[in-house]
Structure 1
């Protein structure tokens, strides 16, 4: 089932499957900003990543010495959420633990995702509640894919990412199993005090660009050819992924809290990079805002 949000400026469509944003467009131009999900490149559009990000070593997590099989990016993106609150401009989706989730992730939780359409901005609020009788551990991430080029204007080489803070970005790499390669990195912004990352297809041929502890809390996808842009603002996500499949007509801007396991990781879930520890009865919140200009 899809839920449609709209006002005088924009329209957003969210699927209850994964509480995934599947469309976000301007009403004045009709321009669509979210990738279509064409299987020729990638069937996703804007999945939520929970309770892990990326790949787990050997496809499993360990809790108190017991192994649990779990897929890349966790299970939330493949789960049906419940629409618990709605209006013309707001929708709240809920995923709670179940027998199925407990088979791969042995913790009880509520995951709320709230969408609020405000003018040409779509605000996404994330909240994880610990309703277990113990501490719970998880990672949480976003994965929105934006059509690029915009409306077929130019090529990817005409586009760039503008960070709101100077960055020295050190790229991490993944192996064929989706695990971080130990000791391998590359400086992407070579000088301090830089905030512009030019885009091209070749930079993604070795997979996603993964960065830890990014300074910026706002990234704008811009074109040299027009004033059209997409602004991604976020709180509670210190890490970042930038990705596209080979030569795809879209770019993913993915604020994360956590990254994939390294190829030599041998620890438990609580030892993963960027893990969030939530005590009994507590909640964790973060946010993502997409503005289409």
Structure 2
């Protein structure tokens, strides 16, 4: 992948797989190719002036994900003392530079964000947030998010991923999503979360009813993986969320931008939008404590 106008892109290659990263742009995984074919979508003409707004890769969502609001204003939250603070949708991690270290064997990368003056105004907590990617083999990617409370006060958080998977829009009708048992919910115009409905075991990607929907795992952790089956690509993408030592993932969100977008997002989340107020997945991290959320993505071919 070509460098951006201002910064280098970091490429990791191992066997059939190539991963591209921009640690300086929110610790972003930009793309994943296997045998030269894209698995994670990245646009040909990315707006490097605002990389956090580019539709592609895997933006990291921290310390909160989705839309939170106070008195109807998106991007605000109220703490336990009643203080209202500004914090952008999906948090600030995707806008900030991460420190990065590549594994000695070149098969993985570890990226770190710590609190600073830029973060404390909207989120007055001391933290270390880490994202690690590692190729277990040519077709398997392990991903880990770790939050550590380096301060003296309990720290609220609910992080997530925003994977943009390649899916040509003309292939949506023949591509299916398999899910473990879930409850389907969405965020209503006033910011509240809808009542839970029993989710389906399988959806087609041309179903408008899965755009911007939260598939809440019931039970948690999920008893089986999330799987995209794409005959047009001769590809399966399996997301394993029940990993040893991991926090329980709360939900997976499905979203795409438009009817002609050549991607579909499958987003494992630790909570739901506005959890800081509604409590749906909100986590509190004790001083000095760490928590980790792991997943594994396997890419296969159809038999």
Q: Do these two structures clear the TM 0.5 threshold for a shared fold by scoring above it?
A: yes
Q: Is 2:113 the counterpart of 1:95?
A: yes
Alignment gaps of 5+ in structure 2: 1-7, 48-52
Higher relative contact order (CA 8 A, sep 6+): 1
CA distance 1:219–1:238, shift in 2 (3 Å): same
Shift of 1:86: 3.4
SS of alignment partner, residue 40 of structure 2: coil
Q: Is 2:163 the counterpart of 1:144?
A: yes
Report if the CA contact (8 A) 1:172-1:180 is conserved.
no
Measured against aligned partners, the alpha-carbon deviations of 1:257-293 in whole angstroms (never above 9, x if no partner) come to: 111128xxxxxx3763211111111101011222222
SS of alignment partner, residue 208 of structure 2: helix
Report if the CA contact (8 A) 1:232-1:291 is conserved.
yes
Report if the CA contact (8 A) 1:134-1:279 is conserved.
yes
Report if the CA contact (8 A) 2:183-2:217 is conserved.
no
1:258 alignment counterpart = 271
Shift of 1:225: 4.6
Q: Is 2:200 the counterpart of 1:197?
A: no
Report if the CA contact (8 A) 2:127-2:151 is conserved.
yes
Report if the CA contact (8 A) 2:150-2:288 is conserved.
yes
1:82 alignment counterpart = 99
Moved more, 242-251 or 99-108: 242-251
SS of alignment partner, residue 155 of structure 1: helix
Taking structure 2 as the reference length, the TM-score comes to 0.81
What is the total number of aligned residue pairs between the two structures?
270
Taking structure 1 as the reference length, the TM-score comes to 0.84
Alignment gaps of 5+ in structure 1: 190-194, 263-268
Report if the CA contact (8 A) 1:201-1:246 is conserved.
no
Matches of 1:79 and 1:97, distance apart in 2:
10
Matches of 2:84 and 2:63, distance apart in 1:
15
Shift of 1:196: 2.2
Q: Is 2:253 the counterpart of 1:241?
A: yes
Measured against aligned partners, the alpha-carbon deviations of 1:176-229 in whole angstroms (never above 9, x if no partner) come to: 47x23544x55442xxxxx3222215335xx40112234345211102456411
Shift of 1:84: 3.5
